[in-house]
Structure 1
Amino acid sequence: MATDRLDEVLDAAYDCLTRYGVRRTTMDDIALRMGVSRSAVYQYVRSKDDAFRKLAARLHTQALERARDAAAAEDAPCATRARGVLAAKLDLVHRLTGDSPHTAELLDEKARLFGDICAAFTAELRQLLTALFTQAGTPAGLGPAEAADVCLALVTGLESVPDGERLLGPASDALLTGLLGASQASH
């Protein structure tokens, strides 16, 4: 039950974020959105900053679960698994940047409130990709961690393109063919 109420608080915080941004949202806004008193909101979060940190953590955790599931799909070829990890990151970014100009604040690695959450998310994606490239192998002169960095750089570039999700497939196919070899990338 408490988890459901926390989810309601975070959903209300997200709605307020899309309208006002982090700085202009107040605890009263969150409470009003929920239809409860401000003191009721304080039962689940310590402050507005705590609400937004928990919201950022929830969204990044959900995306990370999708990435972990993709990486763990042992019946799928390495390229498909890597593409799934990359798609989890790109989907999160496009969702947040598409909902409102304010929601992109949750992606800022330099932000005081969310920076550590964003950095940990990217670090874990890098670990997942590094493990995949360690298992599959990479071309001579390029280590698994470097291959992971190249893949993450691709997604970072696609984040700024309006139809980046459409381009992820062909771009990752081309990249993974180079990193894994044609035979592994096509399977």
Structure 2
Amino acid sequence: MGTDRLDEVLDATYDCLTRYGVRRTTMDDIATTMGVSRSAVYQYVRSKDDAFRRLAGRLHEQALARARRAAADSTVPYAARVRGVLAAKLELVLALSEDSPHTAELLDDKARLFGGICSAFTTDLRLLLADLFAEAGTVAGVGPVEAADICIALVVGLENAPDAHRLLPPGSDALVAGLLGVPVPAVTAGS
């Protein structure tokens, strides 16, 4: 299966999602958006549901890759690594929310089509964060998993904040400082 062609199918699926939503999008819509026949689309996905599952998987996997890179960057302080993991989640949510009211459907962890993908993504982020906190050490009374859960709760709270991008750096730095029990350098503009 050609990866480039599958990417084109998923790009067209996303375009249709922004216009029509999951329920109203048809395989004909995806094919028309690509400029191919419906049978050509079926060479790469089994159904509309398969196309949307693969799209959700691709978007979450891209965000998870960004989070993993941030967590692995041992050249920066722990606060910046944690912030990078949290930013990957927040950026995914904000990008999908800004593109169309329909695209937020890909974030619903209770949705039949995407629930497992969304839950697995959050679980993977939780593990990345817990590993960072286990490595850095946390204040007495707060374990690495609890610290990870607190950080994820911060991002979930910011997802609907009007100025989420601006609030994430100082919010995550303050949170990490408290969880690690050490002062965290102030975030400079553009960090």
TM-score by length of 1: 0.97
| Cα displacement (A) at 1:76 | 1.1
Give the corresponding residue for 2:114.
114
Q: Does the alignment pair 1:96 with 2:96?
A: yes
Give the corresponding residue for 2:35.
35
Question: For the residues of structure 1 that align with 2:161 and 2:169, how far apart are their CA atoms?
Answer: 14
| Cα displacement (A) at 1:77 | 1.0
- After superposition, where does 1:4-23 map in structure 2 within 5 Å? 4-23=4-23
Cα RMSD, aligned residues only = 1.1
| Cα displacement (A) at 1:186 | 2.6
Q: Does the alignment pair 1:177 with 2:184?
A: no
| Cα displacement (A) at 1:174 | 1.1
Give the corresponding residue for 2:74.
74
Instruction: Report Cα offsets for 1:83-140 as digits up to 9, x if no partner.
Output: 0000000000000000000000000000000000000000000000000000001110
Q: Which runs of 5+ in 1 are unaligned?
A: none
Instruction: Report Cα offsets for 1:51-98 as digits up to 9, x if no partner.
Output: 000000000000000000000001111111000000000000000000
Give the corresponding residue for 2:25.
25
| Cα displacement (A) at 1:181 | 2.3
Give the corresponding residue for 1:186.
185
When you count helix as a share of all residues, which structure comes out higher?
Answer: 1
8 Å Cα contact 1:126/1:152 also seen in 2: yes
Question: For the residues of structure 1 that align with 2:162 and 2:112, how far apart are their CA atoms?
Answer: 27
8 Å Cα contact 1:177/1:186 also seen in 2: no
**Greater relative contact order (Cα < 8 A, sep 6+):** 1
Higher alpha-carbon deviation: 99-108 or 173-182: 173-182
1:135 maps to amino acid: E
Give the corresponding residue for 1:135.
135
How many residue pairs are counted as aligned between the two chains?
Answer: 186
Give the corresponding residue for 2:189.
none
Identity across matched positions, percent? 73
TM-score by length of 2: 0.95
Question: For the residues of structure 2 that align with 1:162 and 1:57, how far apart are their CA atoms?
Answer: 27
